[in-house]
């Protein structure tokens, strides 16, 4: 592929738009640049002269977009095609050479099938490849994986595209963001971002932290009630056993603090009184920081039925809710 010559401003605009279409998240120019500088040291990124011009190969732009998508949790850190190509290669080595057109047609054949069947699954595409294009059953799924990945990474934006415009990533940090899905507490695209950027959980809006915690328990199969956010008496989330909804199973207090700000012993003692008052089986303090020294000792010495989910565990919750966590 040849080089593309266009203004840096246009490079940012098109990159942000493409990433937004794929992930649902709109990044600022500054965040886009910061992410790219983690790996790419091109002069145009370092100088950041918006009216200057960029000369770059389209496949290099594709590499940059893939990197950004990985950094915001929109792609797995190891792309499935890596192993799929290895299995295809092993099959060819074992069964003898295959016409080069077989490999060269993967992109065009799979793209056509995907366009004809929007939303087609990998297994469905595999069946199409076997029946209509005579791909060997042994590698049809791997060919489908490669084809779907290639299709997904195409950086050409269709003329006709049904897209809602996405959500500003900055909203996760600046204001409450109710789920667009309605039945969730927080959208998957934000969870995906936090799965890869767990160190930023302490900086998200406090209400989104409460939503994050509620979503975690919802995904464990519990019935979950998110509190109003204000004047809630210190109880942010109530977790119920679906079969016993009379009293909460767990009361949750959420503390979105910077790591240097610890949850006080006084908070631990005060919250336990809420657990007793509501007759919950136990309480849980969830914090992006840590419980102050002595908090666990007070709990243990007084036999408080309290658990703590601190910094590292909360980051693991985000990873557990990542769409690529299997």
24 neighbors 189 (Cβ within 8 angstroms): yes
Residue-level pLDDT at 222: 96
Residue-level pLDDT at 101: 47
Residue-level pLDDT at 157: 66
Indicate if the alpha-carbon torsion angle 207, 174, 20, 160 is positive or negative.
Answer: positive
Residue-level pLDDT at 194: 98
Residue-level pLDDT at 1: 53
Residue-level pLDDT at 88: 87
- Segments of the chain scoring below 70 in pLDDT: 1-2, 97-104, 157-162
Q: Where are the alpha helices (DSSP H) in 81-136?
A: 81-95, 100-104, 106-116, 122-133
Reported as a single tens digit per residue, the pLDDT across 72-88 is: 999 999 888 899 989 98
Residue-level pLDDT at 275: 95
**170-320: CATH number:** 3.40.1350.10
Query: Which residue in the block uniquely carries the two structure tokens 């003329």?
Result: 159
User: Which sequence spans correspond to the domains of the chain?
Assistant: 3-71, 81-153, 170-320
156 neighbors 14 (Cβ within 8 angstroms): no
Residue-level pLDDT at 2: 66
Mutual orientation of helices 311-320 and 188-196 as an angle, nearest 10°? 130
Residue-level pLDDT at 180: 87
């Amino acid at each position: 592929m040849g080089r593309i010559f266009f203004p840096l401003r246009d490079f940012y605009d098109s990159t942000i738009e493409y990433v937004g279409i794929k992930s649902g998240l709109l990044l600022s120019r500054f965040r886009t640049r910061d992410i790219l500088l983690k790996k790419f040291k091109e002069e145009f990124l370092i100088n950041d002269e918006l009216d200057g011009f960029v000369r770059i190969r389209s496949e290099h732009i594709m590499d940059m977009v893939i990197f950004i998508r990985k950094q915001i949790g929109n792609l797995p850190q190891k792309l499935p095609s890596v192993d799929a190509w290895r299995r295809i290669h092993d099959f060819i080595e074992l069964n003898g050479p295959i016409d080069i057109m077989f490999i060269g047609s993967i992109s065009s054949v799979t793209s056509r099938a995907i366009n004809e069947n929007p939303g087609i699954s990998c297994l469905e595409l595999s069946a199409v490849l076997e029946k209509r294009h005579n791909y060997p059953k042994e590698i049809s799924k791997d060919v489908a994986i490669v084809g779907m990945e290639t299709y997904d990474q195409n950086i050409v934006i269709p003329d006709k595209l049904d897209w809602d415009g996405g959500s500003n990533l900055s909203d996760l940090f600046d204001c409450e963001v109710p789920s667009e899905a309605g039945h969730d507490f927080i959208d998957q695209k934000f969870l995906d971002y936090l799965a890869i950027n767990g160190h930023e959980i302490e900086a998200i809006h406090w209400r989104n932290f409460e939503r994050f915690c509620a979503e975690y328990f919802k995904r464990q199969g519990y019935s979950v009630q998110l509190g109003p956010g204000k004047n809630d008496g210190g109880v942010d989330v109530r977790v119920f056993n679906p079969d016993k909804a009379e009293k909460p199973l767990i009361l949750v207090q959420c503390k979105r603090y910077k790591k240097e700000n610890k949850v006080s012993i006084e908070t631990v003692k005060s919250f336990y009184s809420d657990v007793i008052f509501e007759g919950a089986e136990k309480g849980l303090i969830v914090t992006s920081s840590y419980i102050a020294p002595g908090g666990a000792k007070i709990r243990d010495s007084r036999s408080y039925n309290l658990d703590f989910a601190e910094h590292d565990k909360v980051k693991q919750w985000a990873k557990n809710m990542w769409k690529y966590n299997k």
